[in-house]
């Protein structure tokens, strides 16, 4: 019974796990964080409904998403510099 009392004082450990498998702490799990230079950021812009329609039409014509179209235009601008 002393073994169970010791486990009760450890955060995240239940009595059954302690009794049957020894003392274990809970694994936090989850995916590791990406390095800062690989993380994506969200950009919000405001435009008129007409501008949005033109942007959507251009992306649809090229068969890409609006985000991909904007990234393509930024890349083209970088090539001109």
Residues 13, 25: contact at Cβ < 8 Å? yes
The span from the CA of 48 to the CA of 24, in Å, is 58
* CATH code for residues 39-81: 1.10.1220
Domain boundaries, given as residue ranges, for the chain = 39-81
Higher per-residue pLDDT: 81 or 23: 81
Cα 9 from Cα 13, distance rounded (Å): 8
Tokens read off for 5: 């009392």
pLDDT 10s digits, 24-75: 667 778 888 889 888 999 999 999 999 999 999 999 999 999 999 999 999 9
């Amino acid at each position: 019974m002393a073994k169970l009392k010791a486990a009760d004082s450890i955060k995240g450990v239940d009595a059954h796990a302690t009794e049957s498998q020894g003392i274990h702490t809970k694994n936090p799990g989850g995916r590791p964080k990406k390095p800062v230079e690989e993380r994506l950021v969200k950009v919000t812009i405001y435009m008129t409904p007409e501008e949005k329609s033109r942007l959507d039409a251009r992306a649809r014509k090229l068969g890409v998403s609006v985000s991909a179209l904007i990234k393509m235009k930024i890349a083209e601008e970088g090539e001109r510099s």
